[in-house]
Amino acid sequence: MYYRPQPPADPELIRSLTERQKEMSQQVIIQKPDFTLRTLAGCDSSFIGENILSVFVLLRYPELDILEIQYNYVPVEMPYVPGFLAFREAPNLLKAYEKLETKPDLIMVDGHGISHPRRLGIASYLGVLLQKPTMGVAKKILVGKYELPAPEKGSLTPIFHRDEHIANTLRTKDKVKPVFVSPGHLMDLETATRLALETARKHKLPEPTRLADHYAEELKKEVR
């Protein structure tokens, strides 16, 4: 397969996005969530050529029954720039969120919260825009150093970046690769880690993000 290299990002765009990230990161609040958790949503995005499909799956808590699924499919508005994926994904995620008839108490994002070089991953970005508690559960680490946790479910180790404890490496199943949990906004690391483990029932990924990922793949077949 022929690989077409991406043109370098516009330096002015990078400067503008960096400033925006710094501004928004100052608005991130890390705290124990102040809510009664009755519903939570998982969200994920998938790219199809020059289009983006974003999905929200709303679940009842603690049963984790599916209450609602909404999605939005549009052309991508911004080019891919490493470290600024939130700006590429968030506009369409917000459109999918607006379609939810019931707004969740908590949003679990397939991605990072404050475990980001400028402390503004997609979960934090969405949380600040929506002023809603958010948390990130990622499959891969973005920044920081950690040691692998023990192989048993529930084992965890801290992730440090610039001497700050920004996330946890969490084993959600025995002897499977861990996930990387971080608070997004109006959430603390301890609660985010507990909820990630609690909602990981039969699979490695917690049900909210697993189902969002699953329906993103299923809906891709429809929109194609």
Instruction: Give the E-state strand segments of 139-216 in sequence order.
Output: 156-161, 164-170, 179-185
Angstrom distance (rounded) from CA 71 to CA 93: 8
Q: Which helix (H) or strand (E) holds 170?
A: strand 164-170
Q: Which helix (H) or strand (E) holds 72?
A: strand 66-75
Q: Which residue has the tokens 């180790």?
A: 157
Long-range contacts of 59-63 (CB under 8 A, 24+ apart): 59/207, 59/208, 59/211, 61/37, 61/105, 62/198
DSSP β-ladder status, 106-109 and 39-48: parallel
The reply to whether 213 sits in an annotated binding site is: no
The reply to whether 44 sits in an annotated binding site is: yes
Angstrom distance (rounded) from CA 133 to CA 39: 12
Q: Is 40 helix (H, G, I), strand (E, B) or coil?
A: strand
Angstrom distance (rounded) from CA 141 to CA 3: 25
Angstrom distance (rounded) from CA 67 to CA 71: 14
Q: Which residue has the tokens 């793949």?
A: 217
What residue numbers does the annotated binding site for Mg(2+) cover? 44, 110
What residue numbers does the annotated binding site cover? 44, 110
